[in-house]
Amino acid sequence: MVMRSMSVGMLCALMGMGCGGDDEGQPQRCSVAAQTGCAAPQVCEEVEGAEPACFEPVILRGRVYDSLDDKAIAGARVLARDPSDAVISRVAVTGADGTYELVVPARRDASGAPIEVDITLRADAQAYETFPKAPRVALPIDLSTAAGKPPAIESAATEISLLPLPDSEGLGSISGVVHADQPGGTLLVAGGATGAADLDGSYTIYNVAAGDVTVKGYAADLALDTASATVSAGKETTGVDLHATGGATAVVSGKVEIVNAPGGSATSIILVVADTFDEAAARGEAPRGLRQGNVTGEFSIAGVPDGDYVVLAAFEDDALVRDPDTSIGGTEIVRITVSGQDLPVAESFKVTGALAVVSPGASALEEVSGTPTFVFEDDSSEDLYEVRLFDALGAKIWEDLEVPRVSGSENVSVEYDGPALIPGMIYQFRTTSKKDGTPISQTEDLKGVFVYR
């Protein structure tokens, strides 16, 4: 005990940290969970190989703005999530100029510097599409790059552009509290609109269609009751609270078959809430913890709350896609209902190699101007290709369903000849290869994404 107290005291002295003390003036351990024992504005952080101690907080600084006209968005809610999408920060609300400062917890090394770990941001605002939402992905932010005093990060990854919804006049919002031991990151769903709970359980769901709705909450290992709300256009419905009813214990299990996939050997499985699923885009929102990665055969996702879900395989960038050949078994979209019992998915999921995207959007969101040309890897087994362009709100903008096969080239190039594209809008092109009228492969769910300038 004496050695441990000395270790913390020495660290506090070396770092210039304000550690709490007992009645005898000896330093004592601060609390990371309760955030006690540190003099403001310092925060209690985990220390690698030592007891927690007090440090200046790591701060993310950025701006939230309209992607079409670059105007500031005031009142947007911004929070940080870890690699499993669990919320790790309180919510920061943007000011009149769209700027925010977000304090994020950062584990430290022995010298007090933040340890390398990637986090991402989520942002929500009334009349705007939530970010991130497929096909848009959030850029990872490495906390070890924080610099200055206090340590801060301000980069392209902390600048967030939101897409305005085309018709927001009939939309309102809902707010309340999730009452549970660990509510942070709970996905709240009302009429297809979503929000994420703060660490203290408070939440706001923007862009809910006016009328009577049911509010549901989803997170691994957490069972919640539901709540009813009446939403009025342009107004906030407050006090819509959800309460924990116990732990979620159901297990969803199944099997993946990976075939004809020289570029990928493992994939992921996610459960997305059925109310958020977009049939045309085949995507939706997955609650915290309802994912298993590095799947090569059998999978098992535990702690699934009651509800309706869509099971998606190979959704993330892994050189694999769900086999689009609906003439064989194991390729249909799988919908399940969990009601307190374990649920084995009877049919295996067939996953195949993806058509590689060359440009734009092979590895990141790209800027494109003029007339776009969509380039992807040739599928040597195909008769023809179908190429479609969607905007980030899910609307199909253009398609060419008879792109001929190529010979003597590794890639296929297709020039866009549809309606004028909107500057600032984010788009995604998707390609499907077909043989004898049957789809045999396609580009990945999160590639081919670009912003038009």
In a shared domain, residues 301 and 339: yes
How far is 413 from 420, CA to CA, in rounded Å? 19
- The domain of 292 spans 250-353
Of 37, 55, 73, the last residue of a domain is: 55
Task: Kindly report the number of other CB atoms within 10 A of residue 185's CB atom.
Answer: 25
What pLDDT score was predicted for residue 22?
A: 40
What pLDDT score was predicted for residue 9?
A: 41
Which CATH number does the domain housing residue 433 bear? 2.60.40.4070
Single pTM value for the model: 0.85
The pLDDT of residue 14 is above 50: no
pLDDT digits (tens, 9 = 90+) for 213-235: 999 999 999 999 999 999 999 99
Percent of the chain with pLDDT over 90: 73
User: How many separate domains does the chain show?
Assistant: 5
- The single-letter DSSP state of residue 364 is S
In a shared domain, residues 315 and 377: no
Instruction: Classify burial at 215, counting beta carbons within 10 Å of its beta carbon; exposed 0-12, middle 13-18, buried 19 or more.
Output: buried
How many residues in total does the chain contain? 453
Average pLDDT value for residue range 373-389? 93
In a shared domain, residues 385 and 328: no
pLDDT digits (tens, 9 = 90+) for 142-182: 999 999 999 999 999 999 999 999 989 999 999 999 999 99
In a shared domain, residues 85 and 144: yes
Least confident of 96-100, 161-165, 319-323, 324-328: 324-328
Place 330 in a pLDDT band, splitting at 50, 70 and 90.
low
What pLDDT score was predicted for residue 337?
A: 97
How far is 242 from 287, CA to CA, in rounded Å? 16
The pLDDT of residue 439 is above 60: yes
In sequence order, the 6+-apart residues with CB closer than 8 A to the CB of 324 are 331, 432, 439, 440, 441, 442
Task: Kindly report the number of other CB atoms within 10 A of residue 20's CB atom.
Answer: 16
Average pLDDT value for residue range 400-425? 94
CA atoms within 13 A on the CB side of 249: 5
pLDDT digits (tens, 9 = 90+) for 342-375: 999 977 788 899 999 999 999 989 999 999 999 9
What pLDDT score was predicted for residue 6?
A: 37
Average pLDDT value for residue range 244-270? 90
In a shared domain, residues 419 and 434: yes
Of 314, 331, 353, the last residue of a domain is: 353
CA nearest neighbour of 430 among 321, 318, 275:
321
pLDDT digits (tens, 9 = 90+) for 35-77: 899 999 999 999 999 999 999 999 999 999 999 999 999 999 9
Of 246, 262, 287, the last residue of a domain is: 246
Q: What is the mean pLDDT of the chain?
A: 90
Which CATH number does the domain housing residue 92 bear? 2.60.40.1120
User: Tokens standing for 421?
Assistant: 């594209």
